[in-house]
Amino acid sequence: MTEETQSQIERTLVLLKPDAMARGLAGQILARFETTALKVVGTKMKWMDAEFTRKHYADLEERLGSEVYNMTATFMQQGPVMALVLEGYDAIATVRKIVGSTYPDQAPAGTIRGDFSHMSRGASVAVGKAVANLVHASGNREEAAQEVDLWFAKDELFDYKTLAETYNC
Protein backbone atom coordinates (compact mmCIF):
# COMPACT_ATOMS: atom_id res chain seq x y z
CA MET A 1 0.00 0.00 0.00
CA THR A 2 1.42 3.38 -0.97
CA GLU A 3 1.70 6.30 1.41
CA GLU A 4 -0.89 8.21 -0.64
CA THR A 5 -3.35 5.30 -0.46
CA GLN A 6 -2.75 4.94 3.29
CA SER A 7 -3.46 8.67 3.82
CA GLN A 8 -6.96 8.20 2.34
CA ILE A 9 -7.81 5.58 4.96
CA GLU A 10 -9.62 7.32 7.79
CA ARG A 11 -11.32 6.45 11.04
CA THR A 12 -14.52 8.18 12.06
CA LEU A 13 -16.99 8.06 14.92
CA VAL A 14 -20.62 7.15 14.39
CA LEU A 15 -23.20 7.20 17.17
CA LEU A 16 -26.47 5.35 16.88
CA LYS A 17 -28.58 7.72 18.94
CA PRO A 18 -31.24 6.73 21.49
CA ASP A 19 -34.01 6.87 18.86
CA ALA A 20 -32.16 4.35 16.64
CA MET A 21 -31.68 2.02 19.62
CA ALA A 22 -35.28 2.38 20.82
CA ARG A 23 -36.59 1.61 17.33
CA GLY A 24 -34.37 -1.47 16.92
CA LEU A 25 -32.57 -0.11 13.86
CA ALA A 26 -28.96 -0.80 14.92
CA GLY A 27 -28.54 -3.84 12.68
CA GLN A 28 -30.02 -2.18 9.61
CA ILE A 29 -27.94 0.95 10.11
CA LEU A 30 -24.74 -1.02 10.69
CA ALA A 31 -25.42 -3.05 7.54
CA ARG A 32 -25.51 0.17 5.49
CA PHE A 33 -21.94 0.93 6.53
CA GLU A 34 -20.63 -2.59 6.14
CA THR A 35 -22.02 -3.01 2.62
CA THR A 36 -19.94 -0.04 1.48
CA ALA A 37 -16.74 -1.78 2.69
CA LEU A 38 -16.39 0.36 5.81
CA LYS A 39 -14.79 -1.72 8.54
CA VAL A 40 -15.95 -1.69 12.17
CA VAL A 41 -12.79 -1.29 14.27
CA GLY A 42 -14.49 -0.37 17.56
CA THR A 43 -17.93 -0.65 19.11
CA LYS A 44 -19.57 -0.15 22.50
CA MET A 45 -22.80 0.90 24.11
CA LYS A 46 -22.93 3.74 26.61
CA TRP A 47 -25.54 5.69 28.49
CA MET A 48 -24.36 9.29 28.23
CA ASP A 49 -24.41 11.13 31.55
CA ALA A 50 -24.40 14.94 31.82
CA GLU A 51 -20.61 15.17 32.13
CA PHE A 52 -19.87 12.96 29.12
CA THR A 53 -22.56 14.71 27.05
CA ARG A 54 -20.88 18.04 27.81
CA LYS A 55 -17.52 16.64 26.63
CA HIS A 56 -18.96 15.24 23.41
CA TYR A 57 -20.91 18.39 22.55
CA ALA A 58 -18.28 20.80 23.93
CA ASP A 59 -18.81 23.50 21.30
CA LEU A 60 -22.53 23.07 20.57
CA GLU A 61 -23.72 25.60 23.14
CA GLU A 62 -21.26 28.20 21.86
CA ARG A 63 -22.21 27.59 18.22
CA LEU A 64 -25.99 27.21 18.51
CA GLY A 65 -26.97 28.44 21.98
CA SER A 66 -28.11 27.01 25.29
CA GLU A 67 -31.57 26.01 24.09
CA VAL A 68 -30.18 23.78 21.31
CA TYR A 69 -27.55 22.32 23.63
CA ASN A 70 -30.12 21.54 26.36
CA MET A 71 -32.54 19.89 23.90
CA THR A 72 -29.70 17.82 22.42
CA ALA A 73 -28.32 16.82 25.83
CA THR A 74 -31.77 15.76 27.06
CA PHE A 75 -32.32 13.73 23.89
CA MET A 76 -28.92 12.01 24.01
CA GLN A 77 -29.38 11.06 27.69
CA GLN A 78 -32.81 9.44 27.28
CA GLY A 79 -31.45 6.02 26.30
CA PRO A 80 -28.32 4.10 25.42
CA VAL A 81 -26.13 5.05 22.48
CA MET A 82 -24.11 2.65 20.34
CA ALA A 83 -20.72 4.08 19.41
CA LEU A 84 -18.86 2.79 16.37
CA VAL A 85 -15.47 3.57 14.92
CA LEU A 86 -15.53 2.91 11.20
CA GLU A 87 -12.45 2.73 8.99
CA GLY A 88 -12.03 2.91 5.25
CA TYR A 89 -11.08 5.00 2.27
CA ASP A 90 -12.45 8.52 2.74
CA ALA A 91 -14.53 7.14 5.62
CA ILE A 92 -15.67 10.53 6.95
CA ALA A 93 -17.20 11.72 3.67
CA THR A 94 -18.55 8.25 2.88
CA VAL A 95 -20.31 7.97 6.25
CA ARG A 96 -21.81 11.44 5.94
CA LYS A 97 -23.11 10.59 2.46
CA ILE A 98 -24.70 7.35 3.75
CA VAL A 99 -26.22 9.15 6.77
CA GLY A 100 -27.79 12.05 4.82
CA SER A 101 -28.69 15.61 5.79
CA THR A 102 -28.97 16.60 9.47
CA TYR A 103 -32.67 17.26 8.96
CA PRO A 104 -34.30 13.98 7.93
CA ASP A 105 -37.00 15.68 5.83
CA GLN A 106 -34.16 17.05 3.65
CA ALA A 107 -32.24 13.77 3.43
CA PRO A 108 -32.61 11.93 0.13
CA ALA A 109 -34.13 8.48 -0.14
CA GLY A 110 -31.42 5.86 0.13
CA THR A 111 -29.75 7.57 3.10
CA ILE A 112 -30.22 6.41 6.67
CA ARG A 113 -32.05 9.55 7.70
CA GLY A 114 -34.04 9.72 4.45
CA ASP A 115 -35.24 6.14 4.79
CA PHE A 116 -35.76 5.76 8.54
CA SER A 117 -36.57 9.21 9.92
CA HIS A 118 -38.87 12.09 9.05
CA MET A 119 -38.53 14.96 11.54
CA SER A 120 -38.05 18.47 10.18
CA ARG A 121 -36.36 21.41 11.83
CA GLY A 122 -39.75 23.12 12.06
CA ALA A 123 -41.28 20.15 13.86
CA SER A 124 -38.34 20.09 16.25
CA VAL A 125 -38.81 23.75 17.10
CA ALA A 126 -42.60 23.37 17.39
CA VAL A 127 -42.37 20.55 19.94
CA GLY A 128 -39.25 21.93 21.68
CA LYS A 129 -37.25 18.74 21.20
CA ALA A 130 -34.02 17.84 19.45
CA VAL A 131 -34.26 16.51 15.90
CA ALA A 132 -34.60 12.73 16.12
CA ASN A 133 -32.23 11.88 13.29
CA LEU A 134 -30.91 8.48 14.41
CA VAL A 135 -27.19 8.97 13.85
CA HIS A 136 -24.27 11.25 14.67
CA ALA A 137 -21.32 11.24 12.27
CA SER A 138 -18.04 13.14 12.65
CA GLY A 139 -17.85 16.15 10.33
CA ASN A 140 -14.16 16.26 9.45
CA ARG A 141 -10.79 14.67 10.25
CA GLU A 142 -10.09 16.86 13.29
CA GLU A 143 -13.52 16.23 14.79
CA ALA A 144 -13.27 12.51 14.04
CA ALA A 145 -9.90 12.23 15.80
CA GLN A 146 -11.19 14.12 18.87
CA GLU A 147 -14.39 12.10 19.06
CA VAL A 148 -12.71 8.72 18.58
CA ASP A 149 -10.23 9.61 21.35
CA LEU A 150 -13.08 10.69 23.65
CA TRP A 151 -15.14 7.55 23.15
CA PHE A 152 -12.47 4.86 22.79
CA ALA A 153 -9.18 3.93 24.45
CA LYS A 154 -6.44 2.74 22.09
CA ASP A 155 -6.85 -0.86 23.29
CA GLU A 156 -10.55 -0.78 22.32
CA LEU A 157 -9.74 -0.28 18.62
CA PHE A 158 -8.75 -3.20 16.41
CA ASP A 159 -6.57 -3.63 13.32
CA TYR A 160 -7.49 -6.56 11.11
CA LYS A 161 -8.06 -7.34 7.44
CA THR A 162 -11.50 -7.91 6.01
CA LEU A 163 -12.14 -10.22 3.10
CA ALA A 164 -12.71 -7.15 0.89
CA GLU A 165 -9.24 -5.82 1.80
CA THR A 166 -7.64 -9.19 1.18
CA TYR A 167 -9.11 -9.42 -2.32
CA ASN A 168 -9.17 -5.66 -3.11
CA CYS A 169 -12.95 -5.66 -3.55
Closest CA to 99 of 149, 5, 152, 36: 36
Secondary-structure class of domain 3-166 per CATH: alpha beta
Q: Of 25-29, 54-58, 87-91, 120-124, which gets the smallest average pLDDT?
A: 120-124
List residues with catalytic annotation. Answer: 136
Q: Which pLDDT score, from 0 to 100, does residue 112 have?
A: 98
What's the whole-number average pLDDT of the chain?
93
Q: Which helix (H) or strand (E) holds 95?
A: helix 91-99
Is residue 11 predicted with pLDDT exceeding 70? yes
Q: Say what percent of the chain tops pLDDT 70.
A: 95
∠ at Cα 71 (119, 56), nearest 5°? Answer: 105
- Find the largest Cα–Cα distance for the chain: 52
Indicate the pTM of the whole model: 0.92
pLDDT of 7 above 80: no
Q: Pick left, alpha or beta for residue 152 (phi over 0 → left; psi -120 to 50 → alpha; otherwise beta).
A: beta
User: Which value, to the nearest 10 degrees, does the dihedral of the CA atoms of residues 113, 117, 120, 125 take?
Assistant: -120
Residue 124's pLDDT band (boundaries 50, 70, 90)? confident
Distances (CA, A) of 94 to 21, 34, 91, 99, 126: 22, 12, 5, 9, 32
Work out the percent of the chain whose per-residue pLDDT is above 90: 79
**pLDDT tens column, 43-98:** 999 999 999 999 999 999 999 999 989 999 999 999 999 999 999 999 999 999 99
Pairing outcome for strands 39-46 and 81-89: antiparallel
